[in-house]
Amino acid sequence: MFVLVNTKTYPCDPVAVAEAARAVEPSTDARLAVAPEPTALAAVAETGIETWAQHVDPIEPGSNTGSILAESVADAGAAGTLLNHSERRQRLDQLDESLTASGRAGLETIVCANTPAQAGAAAALGPDAVAIEPPALIGGDTPVSQADPNIVEDAVDAVGAVDSAVSVLCGAGISTGDDVLAARELGADGVLLASGVAKADDPAGALESLVDPL
């Protein structure tokens, strides 16, 4: 089970979250990673935790100002990148180009999608994984297992019909260990976490209770 903590631009210290994840790692079989803002990538990577970018732009090295370059993100220590997050949607053609850029820089990729149809479309572009983020669950308190469990199973089916090599993650509605378990039972290979860990008073404790049932 892959557990990726997105620290967004929360007023938290991503390095503290990374250290918390590092502390929890020995006690779980889950694969843990942290996705901080671009300015914090290098410092997070230095903690030794697996580090992900939150986004890379559909560009090559060259004349681009104010952009996030796949190569620079990889140089800073990132092993992968989220793409098309609900807070950073991309044009279909540019999402394809961001995937190309990620591949060129050796980054693993997770493309977010908010319906099974979009998950299938994302899978057709050849990412490593697709994260299904049902809009009803984004930022809410409803757990994925209660809201509409079919959406995860439907996403697993839609992705599998297009390319069975693409993993499926659950990208919203996860705030307890039971939610993580439910996501796994619905066919998800991993989960995206955010505020539940990143904004917790005790990120290590929060993360531990999330991965404990696995």
The binding site for a copy of itself (CB under 8 A) comprises 6, 8-11, 37-43, 53-55, 59, 61-69, 71-73, 75-76, 82, 84-96, 113-115, 117-118, 120-126, 139, 158, 161-162, 194-195
CB-wise, 139 or 213, nearer to a copy of itself? 139
Does 59 count as an annotated binding residue? no
Least distance to a copy of itself, CB of residue 51, Å: 11
Q: Within 13 Å of residue 120, how many CA atoms lie on the same side as its CB?
A: 12
Give the residue from 120, 139, 138, 140 showing the smallest Cα distance to 130: 120
Which is catalytic among the residues 87, 133, 153, 185? 133
User: Does the annotation count 133 as an active-site position?
Assistant: yes
Does 142 count as an annotated binding residue? no
- How many Å apart are CA 85 and CA 97, to the nearest integer? 15
Least distance to a copy of itself, CB of residue 171, Å: 11
CB-wise, 91 or 146, nearer to a copy of itself? 91
Distances from the Cα of 97 to the Cα of 21, 47, 56, 76, angstroms? 31, 30, 10, 21
Which is catalytic among the residues 85, 97, 185, 208? 85
128, 110 in Cβ contact below 8 A?
yes
Residue that is written with structure tokens 């053609």 in the block: 93
User: Does the annotation count 85 as an active-site position?
Assistant: yes
**Helix 203-211 to helix 14-24 angle, to the nearest 10 degrees?**
40
Does 194 count as an annotated binding residue? yes
Does 138 count as an annotated binding residue? yes
CB-wise, 20 or 68, nearer to a copy of itself? 68
Does 8 count as an annotated binding residue? yes
Least distance to a copy of itself, CB of residue 76, Å: 5
3-state secondary structure at position 110:
strand
Residue that is written with structure tokens 């967004």 in the block: 8
CB-wise, 48 or 88, nearer to a copy of itself? 88
**Sign of the CA dihedral with 137 first, then 34, 50, and 69 last:** positive
Residue list, annotated binding site for substrate = 6-8, 138, 173, 194-195
Residue list, annotated binding site = 6-8, 138, 173, 194-195
Active site residues: 85, 133
